[in-house]
C-alpha cells in the first residue's frame, strides 16, 4: 500500500527523537566549550619542541640537525643553526637552533617531523584552540613559543612520554658505558652534521 514506507520511516524518526533523550547511543553531542570529550592519547595537532629541566635554552633537545626541515612535506619548518655549541642532555657539546620557526598555517599535522627526529626533540601537541588575532606574525610560531618542558609532554601523552624517557635513559647509559670502556679515546656519538641523512639513530 502506498504510504506504508513513509509511515515506517516516520516511526524510525519518532524512535530516534524519543531515544535521543534516554539512549546513550543516540545522544552523542556535547555542549562544547562547557563540556568536553576527553582527547585520545594519540591525538595530534601541531608540533612543539621539548626541553629538559627548567631552562628552555639550556635544556632544549634540538641540535639543529635540520632533518625535520628537510623531510617536512609542506616545508613549514625554518631552522638556523647556531655558531657556538652548548651541552645537550648527555653533556656533549652540540649545536642548537638559533632560529626555529614553524608556520602553523602551513603545517598539516602529519607527524613526519616527529618520526624522523633522531633526538626525540620534537613532539606533537594537543592544543587545538589556536585562534589568533593576526594573520601573519601570530601564525608563525617562534622557538620561544614552541619550547615546552618535558613535564608538559608527560601531562599530555603519559604512556608515550614514559617510553621516550626510558629510551633516552637507556641510550645515555649505553653511551656512558661505552665512554668508560674506551676511556682514553673519546667516544664518537652520532653527531648530526648538516642535512646529511646518513646519521644513525637508535
The residue ranges that bind other proteins (CB under 8 A) are: 2-6, 8-9, 11-13, 15-16, 25-26, 28, 40-44, 67, 71-73, 108-112, 115-116, 124, 197-198
Bridge partners of 198?
none
Residues 6 or more apart whose Cβ sits within 8 Å of residue 119: 61, 62, 63, 65, 88, 192
Q: What angle do CA 73, 79, 83 make, to 5 degrees?
A: 150
For other proteins, the closer CB: 52 or 103: 103
Nearest to 48 by CA among 161, 142, 159, 166: 142
Closest approach of Cβ 2 to other proteins, in Å? Answer: 6
Residues 6 or more apart whose Cβ sits within 8 Å of residue 20: 26, 27
CA 9 to chain centre: 47
Q: Could you give the CA distance from residue 168 to residue 147 in angstroms, rounded to a whole number?
A: 19
Closest approach of Cβ 196 to other proteins, in Å? Answer: 10
For other proteins, the closer CB: 108 or 176: 108
**β-pair type (97-103, 140-141):** antiparallel
Closest approach of Cβ 158 to other proteins, in Å? Answer: 14
For other proteins, the closer CB: 37 or 188: 37
For other proteins, the closer CB: 74 or 87: 74
Closest approach of Cβ 108 to other proteins, in Å? Answer: 6
Report DSSP state, residue 38.
P
Closest approach of Cβ 55 to other proteins, in Å? Answer: 30
Cell numbers describing residue 43: 591525538
For other proteins, the closer CB: 72 or 79: 72
Amino acid at each position: 500500500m502506498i504510504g506504508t514506507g513513509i509511515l515506517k520511516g516516520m516511526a524510525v524518526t519518532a524512535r530516534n527523537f524519543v531515544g535521543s533523550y534516554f539512549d546513550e547511543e543516540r545522544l552523542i553531542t556535547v555542549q562544547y566549550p562547557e563540556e568536553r570529550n576527553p582527547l585520545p592519547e594519540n591525538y595530534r595537532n601541531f608540533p612543539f619542541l621539548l626541553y629538559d629541566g627548567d631552562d628552555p635554552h639550556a635544556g632544549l633537545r634540538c641540535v639543529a640537525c635540520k632533518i625535520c626541515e628537510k623531510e617536512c612535506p609542506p616545508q613549514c619548518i625554518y631552522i638556523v643553526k647556531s655558531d657556538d655549541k652548548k651541552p645537550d642532555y648527555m653533556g656533549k657539546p652540540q649545536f642548537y637552533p638559533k632560529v626555529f620557526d614553524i608556520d602553523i598555517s602551513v603545517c598539516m599535522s602529519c607527524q613526519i617531523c616527529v618520526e624522523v627526529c633522531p633526538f626525540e626533540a620534537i613532539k606533537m601537541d594537543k592544543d587545538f584552540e589556536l585562534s589568533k588575532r593576526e594573520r601573519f606574525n601570530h601564525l608563525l610560531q617562534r622557538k620561544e613559543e614552541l619550547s615546552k618542558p618535558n613535564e608538559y609532554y608527560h601531562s599530555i601523552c603519559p604512556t608515550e612520554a614514559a617510553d621516550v624517557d626510558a629510551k633516552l635513559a637507556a641510550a645515555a647509559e649505553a653511551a656512558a658505558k661505552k665512554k668508560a670502556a674506551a676511556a682514553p679515546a673519546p667516544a664518537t656519538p652520532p653527531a648530526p652534521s648538516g642535512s646529511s641523512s646518513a646519521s644513525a639513530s637508535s
